[in-house]
Amino acid sequence: DQQVKQNSPSLSVQEGRISILNCDYTNSMFDYFLWYKKYPAEGPTFLISISSIKDKNEDGRFTVFLNKSAKHLSLHIVPSQPGDSAVYFCAASETGTASKLTFGTGTRLQVTL
């Protein structure tokens, strides 16, 4: 039972354009959501997070949007840069279990010149 789903295995975007990565979840007990980026041969790197009391969180070029009614979140990267090319994982946790993350299967983003 996949509680966190990333339905797009890959995405290609031109440099300078917006990248939008999507994530859906089914567990209504999730109240904390994170995005991680992973390069080959490295561990996941924390990007940005959002709690369920918010619907938007920004950090530089990265913005995460949360739509609780639709159980959907998205990561926007503006402008996209070649160094953003990586696998992006969406993750979620329930109250009081912030270290027990449930991950999606990842979306491979390629930013082309």
Which CB sits closer to another protein, 14 or 97? 97
Residues 109, 77: Cα–Cα separation, whole Å = 11
| Closest approach of another protein to the CB of residue 10, in Å | 12
| Residue 97 parent element (H or E) | none
What CA–CA distances, in Å, run from 9 to 57, 93, 104?
24, 22, 10
Contact stretch for another protein (CB under 8 A) within 14-22, 32-40, 54-62, 69-77: 32-40
Binding site for another protein (CB under 8 A): 4, 32, 34, 36, 41-46, 49, 51, 89, 91, 96-106
